[in-house]
Chain A
Amino acid sequence: MKQKYTLGEVESHVRKASQATGLGWGLSEEAGKAARWLAAFDLPGPEISLAHLQQLDGKNYKKYFPANIDTRWQAQGDYLCPIVSGAALADRAGQMLAGTEFKLGEIAYPLLLVATIGQAARYHKTTFTTSWANIRVNCYENGIRIEGSQDDLLLARVNSASCRHSTDLVPQQLPSTLAYSIEPSIWSAIDALAFETYAPATAESRAGAGAGLTDND
């Protein structure tokens, strides 16, 4: 039976899990926000975040960074990381607002790309459109619109994607939940990754958890 977790728990767990797999603090913050953003629409942000992190765990992240962004974004390694690419696109939101359409090569879980760019949409109170395969997803200040083949929404890998500003301002779907339901086995796997950021208890750490004086008076 699925178990509910608050959006705050989703965000902090995915953030920690991302840090545990080597993404670094700043990008892990983006990963947590992206998972939360999707979960709020009852979309499987935590699930695909986990799947993506498991693929990358222990590998050199830099391989999945965009190496060439002048024309078509390409990773040094097999494919682009959607969190890294999404953050880089969000950082270039101004260029998209000025009319630039960014073209990306092979990329994992493009829905995570959408979610990371979603942060920029909210900040700029505007709409960004991400397209891949036979699907197009608009993210708005506080909403989403999915057009095309739903089968393509959760694709684990696509050959190309693109992202641009849109003038459409009418979301099809607003955030619908503050507590996301998830399979316990998936949550346990996220939790296990997050747990890797915690320090095992030592005599010193236990001593630091309380006063040197009595605490039962």
Chain B
Amino acid sequence: MKLARMGSFHQTRLSFMRTLLRRLKKEKWQFERKLWEIGADGFGRAVYTVSGPERSYSLVAFSHDLPDHKRSDRVIATAWDATFTLFDGVPDTADLDRLQINVPKQEAGRISDSELSLSRANHSVRLWQHVIERLSNGQQPDRNQVESVGYLVRTTAVYGSGKFGAADRLTIYQRAEVSGPFQAELLSVWLIRAFSIDLVEHIARAIGGDRAVTISPDLRRRIGVGNATGLGMAPFLINHPALINNWMVAREEAIARVRSLADASGEAVNDFNHHFELAKFNLSQWHSEHPIQIKKLGQLNADLKKMSTYIETESLVENHPWDRFYLWAEKNLSLEGQEQLVSLMLEPYGELVDDLSQCMDADEHLSFFIDGAMGVGRLLEIIEAQCDWAIRVDYQQKQNRARFWYTSAEKLEPRVGERFDEPGAEFEQPLSIGLFIKQLYQTLHEWDPRQSIADLLLAHPEHRHTVRRLQTLATHPYSEIRDNLIAADMLPIDLLRCKLSFFGATKFDPRSDRWVRICMYQDAPYPNEMLATAR
């Protein structure tokens, strides 16, 4: 589990957006735009409700008049084009009025345990005005422009359980439809996408009257929701070791199941080939200005060509075709290409792998407890067997501890600093896991291996959080990122891409080494297409 590979992940069948939509469809959820109080100027509020077998959830959307100079995706922004919350149930007018006071303020407001997420979005300046102009004049938007941007609005934060007063995660952990990772947040985003389309069409109609048209269905599908993500989500992968382990185990198990197939049906091969063509098309639409990603896209392009040749010359039907293909990829493709293949291999096998999405949650309490009866010797064994990546690093070398993670007082957001060039290292957050493990390792050598961890921790409480992680690692092999997270050459975007690929994002476009734009739900159905209208 190295950063370079994690930073090359692609979305898969097990990605959380796809899990969510599969469930909504299978369980025949219903959809209704319950409220539309949006003026001709495009400002006001709206409510979108989806209802399942047991419960309803509503996106409450507020559209605001935002001066151009205030529009920023940066987390330090204080105003946005639109703000949202996911309400648990169907809000009444009193709820809406309460939310209207607080939701537009985002972090500076306060929501309640009736809400499950808090988010905001800005218009894509490149596309928003273009689409409105075209539609209001009775024309379709330019396809190239739509596809090159990929979204009308870009979310800049989607906060989940327990944040800013929103319901604690325990509220939903027994609800199958939202207990899986980020299901409530991603439901919000899916409904935000529908709202963005309704809003441009509404404004176009207000301007163009009878002349105005709606977006053609196939072009609509090409519009997803953008997202701009900075370091805010990076520490999550490090702070939830048992959960991340379960994500990775599910993914690895899915790959193993497919690789173990003795042969593949013609139908499965056709399905694979169909998704392979989609991957090629996706790459043709995937743009980045960042040198790192430009290089990776070049590699992926070359990899897809090699894969084309492989597909033409090798059998995908017989003799463990997927295992052979995978082993070939390991030798012949870059990490981008290898991970693309893994994602494609799973596509034909929903029946074989989709059930694994149920294993991607975690009871993190169970990994919180420390087994004090464990011997010092056993802990040493765990480190020596699984943490070579941590103990072989010389942290005296400046480049191996060049960075520090901290939380900014300004927006309470995680950031990365340069230890030897910037102030603030005294506020370092405990994310230098490799260094902690090495420090513990050195301490353990001073102890009798028969002594207990309980005694060790009484004498050395500073190692408590590291012992907790290592005991988790002993039973959760994917709980630690096996890289130095404070090294000079560490790329935070690798962490972001890994997490976002699990969400189901596409078109990763780093804007720096610590900030990435993505597209969500592009080509996915809309609620009114996939779900019956509620009556």
A94 on interface, CB distance cutoff 8 Å: yes
User: Within 8 Å CB of A87, what residues of B?
Assistant: 370, 457, 461, 464
The 0/1 profile, CB within 8 Å of A marked 1, for residues 223-245 of chain B is 00000101100000000000000
Residue of B at shortest CB range from A67? B458
Evaluate contact between B423 and A202: CB separation under 8 angstroms: yes
Nearest residue, chain A, Cβ from B410: A201
CB-CB contacts of A177-217 with B at 8 A, as 1s and 0s?
01100000000000000010111111011101111110111
Identify which of B71, B465, B515 contacts A216 (C-beta below 8 A).
B71
Contact with A along B58-75 (1 / 0, CB 8 A): 000000000010011111
Is B370 within 8 A of A205, CB to CB? no
Asked if A197 contacts B407 (CB within 8 A), the reply is yes
**B478 shortest CB reach to chain A, Å:** 21
- The reply on B94 being an interface residue by CB < 8 A is no
Residues of B within 8 A of A17 (CB): none
A202 to chain B: which residues have CB within 8 Å? 422-424
Q: Chain A: which residue is nearest B123 at the CB level? A: A216
Contact of B168 with A7 in the complex, beta carbons under 8 Å: yes
Complex: A69 Cα to B463 Cα, angstroms: 20
Contact A209–B373 (Cβ < 8 Å): no
CA distance A120 to B127 in the complex (A): 55
Indicate whether A4 sits within 8 Å of B369 (C-beta atoms), given known contacts A26-B461, A88-B454, A217-B126.
no
Task: Tell me, rounded to whole Å, the shortest Cβ–Cβ distance linking A128 to chain B.
Answer: 13
User: Is there contact, CB below 8 Å, between A198 and B427?
Assistant: yes
- Digit string of B436-461 for contact with A (CB within 8 Å is 1, else 0)? 00000000000000001110011001
- Note all chain A residues with C-beta closer than 8 A to B472: none
- Whether A27 lies near B458 (C-beta < 8 A) is no
CB atoms of A24 and B410 under 8 A apart = no
B356 at interface by CB-CB < 8 Å:
no
* Residue count of chain B within 8 Å CB distance of chain A: 69
Give the docked Cα–Cα distance between A179 and B466 (Å): 30
Tell me if A33 counts as interface (CB < 8 A to partner B).
yes
A-B contact count (CB 8 A): 179
Select which of A30, A93, A178 is within 8 A of B168 by beta carbon: A178
Q: Does A213 lie within 8 Å of B168, measured CB to CB?
A: no
Q: Which one of B9-17, B268-276, B413-421 contacts A?
A: B413-421
Given known A204-B417, A205-B417, contact A216–B72 (CB-CB < 8 A) = yes
The docked-state distance in angstroms from the alpha carbon of A87 to that of B463 is 13
Check A209–B230 contact: CB distance below 8 A. Answer: yes
Chain A residues within an 8 Å CB radius of B464: 24-27, 29-30, 87
Complex Cα–Cα for A161 and B126 (A): 67
Instruction: Identify which of B167, B366, B416 contacts A6 (C-beta below 8 A).
Output: B167
Asked whether B463 lies within 8 Å of A119 as measured between CB atoms, the reply is no
In the complex, chain B residues whose CB is within 8 Å of the CB of A212: 511-512
A199 engages B406 (CB within 8 Å):
yes
Beyond A8-B168, A198-B412, A211-B512, list 20 extra A-B contacts (CB 8 Å). A4-B113, A6-B161, A6-B167, A6-B168, A7-B168, A26-B467, A65-B458, A88-B457, A90-B370, A92-B372, A92-B454, A94-B372, A179-B165, A202-B424, A209-B75, A209-B231, A210-B73, A210-B74, A210-B230, A216-B122
Residues of B with Cβ closer than 8 Å to A? 68, 71-76, 112-113, 122, 124-126, 161-163, 165-171, 228, 230-231, 289, 365-366, 368-370, 372-373, 406-413, 415-418, 421-424, 427, 430, 452-454, 457-458, 461-468, 511-512, 514-515
Q: List 25 A-B contacts (CB under 8 A).
A: A6-B165, A8-B169, A9-B162, A25-B465, A29-B465, A87-B457, A87-B461, A91-B452, A91-B453, A178-B170, A179-B165, A199-B407, A199-B417, A201-B409, A202-B422, A204-B417, A209-B74, A209-B411, A210-B72, A210-B73, A210-B230, A213-B511, A215-B72, A216-B71, A216-B122
